[in-house]
Amino acid sequence: MVSEGLALSLDEEADVLYVRKADCRLRSSKEAPSDSFLILNTDESGAVVGLQILFASELKQHWPQHPDRHLVPRELALALDNWILSS
């Protein structure tokens, strides 16, 4: 289940999960400092408003202890937690 105001989609063929605030405008993207498979999408102010997770099928085993989890806003992290629990 995804919270209202968030968009979550999975590209199964590419194994990429996209999570973002539905009403945001993405300005730039950058790799997370510890993991190049986590892409942080930022808005004009530099706030993280979206994520791209490469190799999403492997997320279940890595996300709870992910070294860059603290960089992910709470509502996006909760959406990921819920996605993991439901898949």
43-73 residue pLDDT tens: 999 999 999 999 999 888 888 889 999 999 9
At CA 55, angle to CA 44 and CA 37, rounded to 5?
45
Neighbours of 22 (CB within 10 A): 13
Looking at residue 76, the DSSP 8-state letter turns out to be H
Residue 38's pLDDT band (cuts 50, 70, 90): very high
For the chain, give the mean pLDDT. Answer: 90
If we measure between CA atoms, which residue out of 8, 17, 53 comes closest to residue 32?
53
What pTM was estimated for this model as a whole? 0.87
The identity of residue 70, as a single letter, is: H
- Model pLDDT, residue 31: 94
**Domain extent listing, the chain:** 6-86
